[in-house]
Structure formats: C-alpha cells, structure tokens
Amino acid sequence: MLLIMGFGAQLTLWPDELVEDLVGRGFRVIRYDNRDIGLSHKFDGVKAPGLIKMTLMSKIGLTPRVPYTLADMAADGIGLLDALGIEKAHIVGASMGGMIAQHVAAKHPERCLSFTQVFSTTGDPKLPAAKKEALKALVTRPASSEEDALVDHGVMLARTIGSPRYPSPEDRLRDRARTSIRRSFYPEGPTRHLSAIVADGNRSEMLRDISVPTLVLHGEDDPLVPCDGGRHTAECIPNAKLKTIPGWGHDLPLELVDEIAGEIAGHAQASAAA
C-alpha cells in the first residue's frame, strides 16, 4: 500500500498510528517524501511563476509553465514501485497526494490494485473554495526561521485546518511540528508544489476514465478542501464509493485512525478479492 502525502508535507504527516493500524490489517505500507520536500531531491533555484500570474493565466485558458507537474509527481510514485520491485499496489493519496494519486490511477491503472482518495478534489473551479482563514494559514510564511517560531506556525496551521470535533492535544502538535522541522525544513518546495497544483487545472474529465476501484474519504468540516471536492470526485469516477465523516477536518486525528484505517483496508481487501 503506497501512501502519498500532500502539499508541502513530509511522509511523517501520516501518523505512525495509522500506518501501524494498516500493517496490523495485513498490508505492507510504504510512505515516501514527494519531490522537493523532506529528504527527497530538491529543485534548488528553480523558480515557479507567481500565484497571481498562474491564476490569471488559468482563468483565460492558458497553462502556465511550471518546474514540474502533478503527472511528474505521479511518475515518481511509479518509479518508487519500480525500484522496490512492486508490480501493483493499493494507492492512497491525501490532499495534494490525492491529486497525484488521481494521475496514478488514470495513467497507470495497470499498477493499481485500488485507489483511495483522502480529503482531495477534482480541481473544478466551480467547487467551493477553501475558507479564507484556512488558505491564509496555509500560504502565510512563519514569523522567522527560528525553531520555536516554526513550531508555533506549524501548530497554528494544524489548529486552523484541523478537525473541529477532534482537536489534537497541544503537546502532540508541538512534538510533531518540532520533529518535522528537525527532519527537514525547506520552504522553497511548497512554492513549486503549489504551482504544480494550479497548473494542473480541472481533472474532472480525466477522472471519468478511471477504472480502478475507488474510495473517496472526506471530512464534512474540512475548511481547506471543502467536502464538495470529495463528493465531486466520487461523482466523476465510475462506481466510486464515498464516505464522509462529520466533524472531520483536514488532518488525521487519532480518534479517527481506526475508522479511517478500517475504510481504507476494507476497500483494498474488497478490491483485491474482486
């Protein structure tokens, strides 16, 4: 089972508890850092076009030139499977990772046993946008590069986009933020991640060609990627299953680990048995 994480996030954002739960259900679970983040290759000095320019170009039907695309990032995942000698895998993607996983399922279906999307979207511009406070928290730079300031920023972001019904304890948020920062701090990467997302545009038509068994999981209280994004994904992909959870935001709270792992594992097992 290949787990693909989202925008500007290291593989460590997948909670150990979720991974252990999936392992306990019989899966070999693989996490990896996307390009330009964590311990993966960095595209130092490669500039991405500004967000305003990209948005304007997209609105008039032009595709901005970007350092790399989500399709390129999907190919990275396939390359990892190749390197590990894995012919087929269950693909699970969260947020931007869900967008990358859409490309994997659409363009490399022969490598997919199943596809599970977690709080992601189709890119259709008609869908509801992120709440202003969530988007602001995501793109705002930390006050400084001092470790404590970076931790404070990480906690603020987690609180802003997290689950209103399942708030994480303060010490857990701080420990996770500090561990992530000490593992790798690379603020340039997310800029290029964002350019790949914007340049990818609307994937709705691509999704209609997906034949891989698909499960869509989404929180009904997600302030960053509203639940309509998940619903629309399930509408676009033939025979996709949709599961929404009240009180769940844009995070993976411990209280929901068992339920989320159960949904992912159940879908994967049913797909493999079909």
Q: List the CATH number of the domain containing 252.
A: 3.40.50.1820
pTM: 0.96
Helix axes 188-200, 96-107, angle to 10 degrees: 50
pLDDT value of residue 64: 80
Count of domains in the chain? Answer: 1
Domain residues for 175?
Answer: 2-273
Coil, strand, or helix at residue 209?
coil
Report pLDDT digits (tens) over 232-249.
999 999 999 999 999 999
pLDDT value, residue 102: 98
Q: Please report, to the nearest 10 degrees, the dihedral formed by the alpha carbons of residues 1, 189, 148, 95 taken in order.
A: -40
Note the pLDDT of residue 140.
87
Residue 132: what pLDDT?
95
Which residues in the chain land under pLDDT 50? none
Alpha carbon distance 252, 267 (integer Å): 18
Residue 202, pLDDT score? 94
